[in-house]
Amino acid sequence: MNKKELLENVRTIPDFPIKGILFYDVTTLFKNAECLKYMVDDLYDYYKDKGITKVVGIESRGFVLGGAIAEKLNAGLIMARKPGKLPAEIMEETYDKEYGKDTIQIHKDALSKDDVVLLHDDLLATGGTMAACERVVKQFGVKKIYVNFIIEIEDLKGREIFPKDIDIHTLLSVHEHN
């Protein structure tokens, strides 16, 4: 397994969720044991010496590798969710998406100033969801924040909206109309 083979296992769906969007479906990577192992091993190798104490997986596809990499790093898993999903007190951030507004929430007791945090989601397009999550996590005063995606759509330049000191790592890079 290599990154080229990994990319070949990503299903693309045109005009989803709206016309003009090419959707990169990572569920095809999750169902393939070889792909899943490759992704977890690659992420572990990249982050194993960075002192990660918590992994924040973003709803919902970010929970899959977020949980797997948290276990392998011996770190806790925090779920960043859409409104109405978390039962205790929350911190939240509202952001613009390609097709509307949304909000991301994390429990108020999820992180501390001693944490080194890895934020994980499946796809970097315009970056709005992850940037909102990064802003929420920053409010906890954590030691360091790392950001990770399975796929980055380079043409959309989503990484440009993050602070320059944020380490952003992606497994695969694609162009808008691969």
Task: Give the residue numbers annotated as catalytic, written as ranges.
Answer: 61, 98
* Sequence-ordered list of residues with C-beta below 8 angstroms from that of 100, at least 6 positions apart, any chain: none
CB 58 within 8 A of CB 80: yes
- Edge-to-edge order in the sheet of strand 116-124: 76-80, 54-58, 116-124, 144-153, 167-174
d(CA 57, CA 66): 5
In 3-state terms, what secondary structure has residue 87? coil
Instruction: Give the C-alpha distances (Å, rounded to integers) separating 81 from 35, 105, 164.
Output: 25, 5, 25
| Six-digit token string for 81 | 């969710």
Q: Strand 100-107 vs strand 90-97: parallel, antiparallel, or unpaired? A: antiparallel
